[in-house]
Amino acid sequence: MTIAAFTRPILLVEDNPVDLDLTLRAFARRRFTNPIQVARDGEEALAWLPRWEGGEPLPLVILLDLKLPKAHGLEVLAQWKSNPVSCAIPVVVLSSSAEDGDISAAYRLGANSYIVKPVDFSKFLEVADQLELYWCVLNKPPG
Partner 1 sequence: MDAPAPDATEKGNISPRVPALAPVCGLLAAALGLGALLGWLLEIPQLAALASGRIPMAPSTAFFFLCYGAGSLFLFRARPGRTARWGALALGTLGLLAVSLLLLLSLQGIHPVIEHLGFSPAGTVDGAPIGHMSPLTAFCFILVGAAFLLALSASPKHFWPATAAFWCAASLSLLSLALLLAYLLGAPLLYGSGTIPPALSTALAFLLLGVSIQLAVWSRSSLRITRPADRRAPYHFILIFALLAAGIVLTGFLSFQKHEKEYRFGMEQQLSAIVTLKAARIADWLAERRADAAELASNPAFTERVDKWLTHGMVLERGGIAFRLDSLRVSHGYDGIALLDAGNRVTLQQGAPVELSGQVLAAVAQARASGRVVDSWFSRDKTGTIRLLWAAPLIPAGNERRQPVATVLLSARAETFLFPFIQEWPTASRSAETLLVRRDGNEVLFLNNLRFRGNAALNLRLPLTKIEVPAVQAALGREGVVAGRDYRGVPVLAALKAVAGSPWFLVARMDTAEIHAPLRDRLWSMVLVILALLIGAGAALILQWQRQQHELLAQVAEKDRQLACELEKRVAERTAQLDAANKELESFSYSVSHDLKAPLRGIDGYSRLLEEEYHHSLTAEGRQFLANIRRGVAQMHQLIEDLLAYSRMERRALHNVPVDLPALVRAVVAAAEAELAESGATLRLEVPALDLYTDHDGLAMALRNLLDNARKFSRGSQPPTIEIGARAENGKILLWVRDNGIGFDQKFHERIFDIFSRLERAEDFPGTGVGLALVRKAVQRMGGRVWAESAPGRGAVFYLELPGAESLRDDPAGERPGKPADTSTRREKP
Using CB under 8 A, list all residues that contact partner 1: 16, 18-19, 22, 25, 66-67, 95-102, 117-122, 124
Smallest separation, CB 23 to partner 1 (Å): 10
User: Whole-number minimum distance, CB 48 to partner 1, in Å?
Assistant: 23
Q: Give the nearest distance from C-beta 126 to partner 1 in angstroms.
A: 12
Minimum distance, C-beta of residue 26 to partner 1, in the bound complex (Å): 9
- Give whichever of 2 and 122 is closer to partner 1, judged by the CB atom: 122
- The CA–CA distances, whole Å, from 38 to 42, 45, 99, 114, 116 equal 11, 8, 25, 19, 20
Is the separation of the CB atoms in 10 and 136 below 8 Å? yes
Q: Using N-to-C axis directions, what is the helix angle for 100-108 and 73-82, rounded to 10°?
A: 20
CB of 100 or CB of 138, closer to partner 1: 100
Q: Is the Cβ of residue 26 or residue 61 nearer to partner 1 in the bound state? A: 26
- Residue 25 or 30: which CB sits closer to partner 1? 25
Query: Left (φ > 0), alpha (ψ -120 to 50) or beta: where does 58 sit?
Result: beta
Half-sphere exposure of 79 (CA within 13 A, CB side): 13
